[in-house]
Amino acid sequence: MATTSGEPVLVPLTGEEEAFLRAWSRAALTVPRALDADLLSGQGMSLSEYTALMHLSEAPGRSLRMSDLASACALSLSGMSRIVSRLETQGLVERARASGDRRGLNAVLTDAGLGRLRRAWPTHLASVRRHMMDHLSELTVPAVTGALQNFAADTPCADPQQEVRRDISPGNA
Amino acid sequence: MATTSGEPVLVPLTGEEEAFLRAWSRAALTVPRALDADLLSGQGMSLSEYTALMHLSEAPGRSLRMSDLASACALSLSGMSRIVSRLETQGLVERARASGDRRGLNAVLTDAGLGRLRRAWPTHLASVRRHMMDHLSELTVPAVTGALQNFAADTPCADPQQEVRRDISPGNA
DNA sequence: CAAATATATTTGCTGCGTCAAGCAAATAGT
DNA sequence: ACTATTTGCTTGACGCAGCAAATATATTTG
């Protein structure tokens, strides 16, 4: 499967794959925007804030280390740091020095934060149903979930300090 | 909770839907980042630039009105304007006053731009295969494409002034 | 035909998230 | 114990994309 050159043979996408790619690419841009907009207009809360609160609410003690919260949200640690700061000024989250490792911090969901999340939930749920679930059949849902979980699975969430740096060649310019 | 109040009954997500949502949410963040990073490191070109070039290359006369290019790329018109500016300074695209309507502009792909796109293609193809297609079965690809096409389908791509004549909603698409 | 209005695109400002650098605490090496 | 390195998080600077206002051209209206 290689020509005499060193380059691997690249098989172009089939028509179906091409269509999938285009539909995906569009949806990956528009869906988050739509969810964010609904949440923002309905609850004055951004999607990333909602997501952070959600993950905290599910964590034991409503508490997560910053880095764990960041990877749960698939955001960079620095981005997460700013989001938690925003949430903190609203009193929805507190930062607590981690016991046993004083350089670590736990983001802890406050009662106010939990209440806020609960109030935002219906808005978000309706939005998710409208923009996504209503367009999926019961069959496709489980069929695709596994695939999605593997998409870009090896990709680190930026902030290289979080992970090893995997490097590949440049091509040209 | 439902009957007498004005609020619609919100059915929570099933476990499968919940899993889908989470997998999607993560993938929608990580995949574009991964494709962008590959293109950037391998070709010094961003994913949005690549996408713009691609749509232009497929348009008749390698030419599209700014607003059409924006909606093809699912970007705001203002964002598109800046992208075309970047591409223009690299000589990959030119702006040509639209014949017949002098307030309109056509973004036109230059020969250099087409060459650049062709050179970037293998990198992008490999990236798409690696991060997405390799994780999809032949069955799921066509099964999901239609659903994806309807995700957030009614969502305008921002820049409300774009205000297309998208009049009364038809049945679907 | 002039004024009013609508359309196509660009530009100013702003928020978000990333990278790179920085700081502090923990761990390793000697 | 003392310095070096690593780890966890925050912060400064930056780029990208979005909204709203500005600009330029078209079209409609009186």
DSSP three-state, residue B97 = strand
A167 confidence band (pLDDT: 50, 70, 90):
very low
Smallest Cβ distance to B20: which of A24, A30, A144? Answer: A144
Per-residue pLDDT tens for A28-60?
Answer: 999 999 999 999 999 999 999 999 999 999 999
Per-residue pLDDT tens for A92-113?
Answer: 999 999 999 999 999 999 999 9
Helix extents (H) in A3-110: 15-43, 47-58, 66-73, 77-89
Q: B35 is written with which tokens?
A: 């494709």
Which residues from A are below 8 Å from B139, CB to CB? 143
CA–CA distance, A96 with B140 (Å, rounded to integer):
45
- Any idea which residue has 């020969």 for tokens? B111
CA–CA distance, A75 with A16 (Å, rounded to integer):
31
Residue B155: per-residue pLDDT: 82
Question: Which residue does chain B place closest to A137, by CA atoms?
Answer: B147
Residues 6+ apart with CB under 8 A from A25: B32, B51, B74
Distance A104 CA to D4 C1' (A): 21
A3 confidence band (pLDDT: 50, 70, 90):
low
pTM: 0.89
Strand order of the β-sheet with A93-97 is: A63-65, A105-109, A93-97
Smallest Cβ distance to B151: which of A27, A125, A137? Answer: A27
- Any idea which residue has 């650049």 for tokens? B116
DSSP three-state, residue A96 = strand
Question: B47: closest CA among B123, B107, B109?
Answer: B123
Question: A131: closest CA among A9, A27, A8?
Answer: A27
Burial class (CB in 10 A: 0-12, 13-18, 19+), B85: exposed
Residue A5: per-residue pLDDT: 66
CA–CA distance, B158 with B162 (Å, rounded to integer):
8
DSSP assigned state of B171: S
DSSP E strands, A98-156: 105-109
Identify whether the C-beta of residue B30 lies closer than 8 Å to the C-beta of residue A151: yes
Residues 6+ apart with CB under 8 A from A104: A65, A66, A97, A98
Which residues from B are below 8 Å from A74, CB to CB? 25-26, 29-30
- For CA atoms B131, B133, B136, B140, the dihedral sign is positive
Per-residue pLDDT tens for B87-135?
Answer: 999 999 999 999 999 999 999 999 999 999 999 999 999 999 999 999 9
Strand D: which positions are within 7 A of a protein CB?
Answer: 7-12, 16-22, 24-27
